[in-house]
Amino acid sequence: MDRFEDRMCKKHNQLLELFCPTEQCVCLLCTVTDHKSHPVIPLKEEYEVKTAQLGKIEAEVPQMIQERKQKIKEIKDTVELSNKDADRKIPHGGQVFTALIGRVEKGRNEFNQKVQEKRKSTVKQAEDLIKELEQEIEDLTNRSSEVKQLSHAEDHLRFLQVFRSLKDPPPTRDWTTVEVRPPSYAGTLRRSLDQLEETLNMGMKKLPDAELKRVQQYEVDVTLDPDTAASQLILSEDRKQVHHGGVRKKLPDNPKRFTQKMYILTRQSFSSGRFYFEVQVKDKTGWFVGVARESIDRKGLTERTPENGYWTLYYYKDGLVFKDNPAVRLPLRAELQKVGVFVDYDEGLLSFYDVEARVHIYTATGCSFTEPLYPILCPCPHDYKGNNSAPLIISPVNQTD
């Protein structure tokens, strides 16, 4: 009653008891005047409709808040992962650049030394030539004096005796072709820079090798789980090899088994820390390797993407792809024979390596690892000619010096 005037139509001074779709509350007289052609309903009916809508909004708002809180967490987690990666990379990069600076300084010192040696050699050559010239000048000066003295001699016998020794000049060099050529330091600098470039290139080639050696320290011993193997797959007795058998076998029903896809998991799973394993893919024209979370769909045809719990590297004939959405196409590795797979569970990082070439292939970061991870393999089928019949082999790590 305190706000009774708000319930009255200001135009007709009647009680507002109806609702018009124009989003206005109206009185009975409004329905025969300004709102004559508008459909109206009692306020209670509109109240119930809006109440239902309000309930929906009320239910949606907490969900929207939660989604945004989750997004904040994801962003913070990404920043934390970035910071951890930066903290790890900065000292490693510092070591690399320190080594490179050392090589540059060594190259500079070697260049300076070569320039100094050339300069000393040029100076010594000049000094030796000057010394030889001065000696000849001295000999010639002495001869000139003797000739001058002899020219004033009146003793015929003495003149002839001395002239015999003067008629042959002292041995001297033909100096018309003798010169001191200043050394070319530009060539020295060019060779030093070329040598430095070669050294740096060798150092750059060693970086992936050093990185591979680092991740190989986290090698784990894994074996294939026959309870997960699709019916077409054949396993070796030691559970280290798998290939396509060509026909479906009748196997016991098992909730862990893949029935629609030709996949197999290992017995071992990992829920934290770092782990690394290698798979031989030699002589194959199709395969994929990687990791998968425990709850993946094993009975359907789910697409093999990170959103569905798969992080895999796929090869078929002439294509190398990291299966994502969209797929990431990678440069084809010639003669790719063995693939190394490294996972840092806590940092959400997955890397693949060409083991024989000791080259990094691809790294996926920001991966959402929230369940136990299993190494996963697929040898892919072979054709009627037997192409791709070679097995995938889980191989022991062979670290080189």
Domain 233-395 fold? Jelly Rolls (2.60.120)
pLDDT at residue number 54: 86
- Give the model confidence (pLDDT) of 199-247 as tens digits: 776 666 666 677 888 899 999 999 999 999 999 999 999 999 999 988 8
Q: 310-316 and 286-293 as β-strands: parallel, antiparallel, unpaired?
A: antiparallel
pLDDT at residue number 206: 60
Domain 4-39 fold? Double Stranded RNA Binding Domain (3.30.160)
For the residues 94-116, what does the mean pLDDT come to?
86
Confidence bin at 298 (pLDDT 50/70/90): very high
pLDDT at residue number 398: 83
Question: Roughly how many angstroms between the first and final C-alpha of the chain, as a whole number?
Answer: 92
Confidence bin at 198 (pLDDT 50/70/90): confident
Tokens 């840092």 appear where? 344
Partnered with residue 235 across adjacent β-strands are 242
Which helix (H) or strand (E) covers residue 146, if one does? helix 43-151
Average pLDDT of the chain is: 86
Q: Which residues of 287-298 are buried (b: 16+ CB within 10 A; e: fewer)?
A: bbbbbbbeebeb
Does residue 399 carry a pLDDT above 70? no
- Which letter does DSSP use for residue 333 in this model? P
- Give the model confidence (pLDDT) of 249-269 as tens digits: 888 889 999 999 999 999 999
- Give the model confidence (pLDDT) of 331-371 as tens digits: 887 789 999 999 999 989 999 999 998 889 999 999 999 99
Return the CA Rg of the chain: 45
Q: What number of residues does the chain have? A: 401
Enumerate residues 6+ apart whose C-beta is below 8 A from 115: 185, 188
Percent of the chain whose pLDDT exceeds 70: 95
Enumerate residues 6+ apart whose C-beta is below 8 A from 219: 275, 276, 277, 278, 396, 397
Enumerate residues 6+ apart whose C-beta is below 8 A from 242: 224, 229, 233, 234, 235, 236, 264, 377, 379, 391, 392
Does residue 38 carry a pLDDT above 60? yes
Does residue 400 carry a pLDDT above 60? no
